[in-house]
């Protein structure tokens, strides 16, 4: 089902699509590819929205900083100095996080209106990112398909092709609160990662892959999340052709749990310590499936390069369940 959600200042309409299957209801916006809500039952069968979002379009337009539920790109996460060199040519990007480029620049994919068409059990969003958008080279044809599996799992599949060498790293920036309200800091988290990428003061990876053993980054066994995280975890499985489960988030109070499966080699854990009004610090937890931050400047990291004739593919699955 689709409905008019609002109109941008230039008159462009924004629609909302509702997907429902397996006891789960998800709403997706054509603006920013935003997952506005995800209604999931608790252990007693009572539904609640487990994704942070705004009730109207003005909320998203007026508060873009948290990237609530958005499809981010062309490059999710940070690129140091808002520049990278590819095939001997340096490309200057839009700095929007101090000197760095974050989530595609000032007007990344999260602030664009996408074309939407229905597909089986979901919707397909698509757009063309012109050469030079945000400073990125190449004309990029990109799509993201949101669908619900029979058990209600939310599946997001990304594809892109380019007419010139470029870099691509796409993800969804949903903030999860499995209790439906209050703090998410008491959630329990497991991540199948033996290493992480430590960062400098600007949250740029140093290039080292540190072991999590004996540190606060060790989530190999489920434990309370807490606060103070905005870090990329190096998933043990690496890049895979099909999604493999890499994380589980659990709320003991409601009994809800979320599993994350992905083809990506990294997972960014952000505990939302700086969300801002109307939200409170720690009200949601972002689990962003991705390639590593600043990979275009780190040849030792898994490559994010995309060349003509190649197809970028990435897929992540968010499954829901309950425990007694």
**What residues are designated binding site for beta-D-galactose?**
77-78, 173-175, 230
Active site residues: 173, 288
- The tokens 């990278």 sit on which residue? 84
What's the token pair of residue 318? 């968010």
For residue 320, which of 20, 87, 24 has the smallest C-alpha distance? Answer: 24
Q: How far apart are CA 320 and CA 305, in angstroms?
A: 33
């Amino acid at each position: 089902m689709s409905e008019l959600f609002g109109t941008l200042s230039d008159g462009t309409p924004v629609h909302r699509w509702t997907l429902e299957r397996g006891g789960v209801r998800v709403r997706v916006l054509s603006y920013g590819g935003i997952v506005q809500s995800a209604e999931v039952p608790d252990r007693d069968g009572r539904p609640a929205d487990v994704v942070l979002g705004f009730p109207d379009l003005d909320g998203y337009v007026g508060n873009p900083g948290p990237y609530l539920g958005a499809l981010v790109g062309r490059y999710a996460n940070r690129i140091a100095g808002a520049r990278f060199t590819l095939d001997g040519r340096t490309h200057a990007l839009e700095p929007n996080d101090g000197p760095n480029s974050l989530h595609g620049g000032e007007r990344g994919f999260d602030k664009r209106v996408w074309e939407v068409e229905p597909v089986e059990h979901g919707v397909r969003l698509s757009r063309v990112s012109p050469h030079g958008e945000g400073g990125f080279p190449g004309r990029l044809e990109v799509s993201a398909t949101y669908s619900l599996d029979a058990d209600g799992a939310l599946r997001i599949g990304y594809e892109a092709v380019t007419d010139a060498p470029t870099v691509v790293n796409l993800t969804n920036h949903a903030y999860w609160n499995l209790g439906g309200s209050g703090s998410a800091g008491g959630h329990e988290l497991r991540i199948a990662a033996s290493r992480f990428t430590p960062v400098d003061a600007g949250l740029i990876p140093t290039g080292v892959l540190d072991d999590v053993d004996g540190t606060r980054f060790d989530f190999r066994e489920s434990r309370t999340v807490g606060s103070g995280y905005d870090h990329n975890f190096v998933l043990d499985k690496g890049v895979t052709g099909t999604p493999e489960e890499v994380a589980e988030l659990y709320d003991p109070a409601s009994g809800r749990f979320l599993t994350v499966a992905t083809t990506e080699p990294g997972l960014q854990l952000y505990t939302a310590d700086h969300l801002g009004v109307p939200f409170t610090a720690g009200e949601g937890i972002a689990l962003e499936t991705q390639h590593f931050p600043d990979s275009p400047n780190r040849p030792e990291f898994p490559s994010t390069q995309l060349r003509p004739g190649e197809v970028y593919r990435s897929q992540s699955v968010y499954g829901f369940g309950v425990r007694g």
